[in-house]
């Protein structure tokens, strides 16, 4: 709108003001033109000077009294429905640092402190992070300017409307309570607009986050050293490749990676090894040869626990569980006897290895006999 705040008023509303739709009211107000303002001015003057004015005023008072009751009865307070979501969005924007006023840590050495991690990551949060922050601050800037725009528009509109109502109060009864209610309505309308803004800002931030902070997008292969260390451990503990927390820390230290990277690696390795053991046999022989004299591996349980070197032989898989190996050996034998389709003699042996699923709550007695039932599947 033209922000022309003429303290004039539109043509007086119909004498029986049934409860108006706020949307209608807003639209009507929006539709005011300068011309209509002038007309209204003229009419206002005419009304003010009309000799019947006191009579009209009292009639309007009567009508109002009736309608006010009706309005009070029908009008409930604003919807508390949106409040929850608004709160959520606000919290999120706050957490994401969008709502805050451009965080500028005056402690200058803070920037230098981030690079002080010795021997850790080479450079991974250098450019990418600043890029992310630039984008984020761009979003924040847009957000704030839009927000400011909305608030200003809201203020202007509110004063405009209150002026109009005050002006009209000379001709028809307008209680302060009524004005206040009108202002609330306006504010709630603008609030819903603000919520849309917040919503879309949230979406933008989420997109940005997944675009930049998702580490999958900046994957880089481990160093030779790291894979070396990890593979050594894996193949020398093939029977139970689940490093303890301590072992993980050790591996992480040796390989120059983090503990969770070690965990990820073992998770991937286990599942991929199990899924296609043949592809890993070459690798296996290499690394088991390297660690031939390793005394850490529990050897001699169920024969050759840590030596998967013989490809077409019956076993060598990761079957023997470190704890209760004996019963499982039978399982291994049985599975190896199964007719293996497509010549993948080794593929079948991975089934049911490693992390055993616990049988249901029943007592563990009589376990040896049940191996057969397993073989029937």
- Smallest gap, in angstroms, from Cβ of residue 117 to DNA? 16
- Smallest gap, in angstroms, from Cβ of residue 220 to DNA? 5
**CA–CA separation, 165 vs 10, rounded Å?**
10
Cβ closer to DNA: 192 or 210? 210
Cβ closer to DNA: 75 or 268? 268
Structure-token pair, residue 20 = 């108006």
Cβ closer to DNA: 103 or 358? 358
- Smallest gap, in angstroms, from Cβ of residue 329 to DNA? 19
CA separation (Å) from 94 to 149, 208, 213, 226, 300?
A: 20, 16, 18, 39, 59
> What's the chain's Rg over C-alpha atoms?
38
- DSSP H or E stretch at residue 224: helix 224-236
**CA–CA separation, 216 vs 264, rounded Å?**
12
Cβ closer to DNA: 221 or 312? 221
Taking residue 285's Cβ as centre, other Cβ atoms within 10 Å add up to 16
Report whether 350 contacts 308 (CB < 8 A). no
**CA–CA separation, 339 vs 330, rounded Å?**
16
- Smallest gap, in angstroms, from Cβ of residue 250 to DNA? 15
**CA–CA separation, 284 vs 82, rounded Å?**
59
**CA–CA separation, 60 vs 323, rounded Å?**
93
Smallest CA-to-CA distance from 163 within 186, 189, 193, 194 is with: 186
- Smallest gap, in angstroms, from Cβ of residue 78 to DNA? 34
Report whether 318 contacts 239 (CB < 8 A). yes
Cβ closer to DNA: 104 or 221? 221
- Smallest gap, in angstroms, from Cβ of residue 284 to DNA? 13
Cβ closer to DNA: 144 or 351? 351
- Smallest gap, in angstroms, from Cβ of residue 242 to DNA? 5
Cβ closer to DNA: 15 or 268? 268
Cβ closer to DNA: 152 or 268? 268
Interface residues toward DNA, by CB under 7 A = 214-222, 227, 242, 245, 260-261, 263-268, 270-272, 274-275, 279, 354-355, 357-358
Name the residue with tokens 């879309």. 200
Cβ closer to DNA: 233 or 265? 265
Cβ closer to DNA: 159 or 260? 260
Structure-token pair, residue 340 = 């293996």
- Smallest gap, in angstroms, from Cβ of residue 269 to DNA? 7
- Smallest gap, in angstroms, from Cβ of residue 355 to DNA? 4
Smallest CA-to-CA distance from 77 within 166, 185, 168, 175 is with: 185
- Smallest gap, in angstroms, from Cβ of residue 367 to DNA? 17
Taking residue 361's Cβ as centre, other Cβ atoms within 10 Å add up to 5
CA dihedral 88, 92, 94, 98 (to 10 degrees): -130
Contacts of 166 (CB under 8 A, 6+ apart): 174, 179
SS3 319: coil
């Amino acid at each position: 709108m033209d922000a022309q705040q003429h303290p004039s008023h539109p043509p007086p509303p119909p004498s029986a003001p049934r409860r108006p739709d706020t949307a209608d009211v807003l639209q009507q107000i929006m539709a005011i033109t300068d011309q209509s303002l002038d007309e209204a001015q003229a009419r206002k003057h005419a009304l003010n000077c009309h000799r019947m004015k006191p009579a009209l005023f009292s009639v309007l008072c009567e009508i109002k009294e009736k309608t006010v009751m009706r309005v009070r009865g029908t009008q409930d307070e604003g919807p508390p429905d949106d409040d929850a979501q608004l709160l959520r969005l606000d919290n999120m924007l706050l957490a994401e640092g969008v709502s805050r006023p451009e965080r500028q840590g005056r402690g200058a050495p803070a920037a230098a402190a981030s690079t002080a991690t010795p021997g850790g990551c080479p450079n991974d949060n250098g450019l990418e992070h600043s890029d992310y922050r630039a984008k984020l601050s761009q979003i924040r800037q847009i957000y704030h300017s839009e927000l400011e725009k909305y608030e200003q528009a809201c203020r202007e509109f509110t004063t405009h409307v209150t002026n109009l109502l005050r002006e009209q109060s000379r001709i028809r009864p307008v209680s302060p309570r009524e004005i206040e209610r009108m202002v609330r309505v306006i504010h709630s309308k603008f609030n819903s607009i603000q919520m849309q803004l917040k919503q879309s800002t949230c979406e933008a931030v989420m997109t940005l986050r997944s675009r930049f902070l998702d580490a999958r997008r900046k994957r880089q292969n481990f160093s030779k050293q790291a894979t070396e260390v990890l593979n050594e451990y894996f193949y020398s503990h093939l029977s139970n490749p689940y490093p303890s927390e301590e072992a993980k820390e050790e591996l992480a230290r040796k390989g120059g990676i983090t503990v969770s990277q070690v965990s990820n690696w073992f998770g991937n390795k286990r599942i991929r090894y199990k899924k296609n053991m043949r592809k890993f046999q070459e690798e296996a022989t290499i690394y088991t040869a390297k660690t031939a004299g390793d005394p850490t591996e529990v050897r001699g349980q169920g024969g050759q626990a840590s030596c998967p070197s013989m490809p077409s032989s019956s076993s060598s898989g990761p079957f023997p569980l470190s704890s209760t190996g004996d019963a499982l050996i039978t399982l291994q034998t049985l599975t190896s006897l199964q007719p293996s389709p497509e010549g993948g003699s080794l593929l079948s042996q991975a089934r049911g290895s490693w992390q055993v699923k616990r049988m249901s709550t029943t007592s563990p007695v009589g376990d040896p006999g049940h191996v057969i039932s397993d073989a029937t599947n």
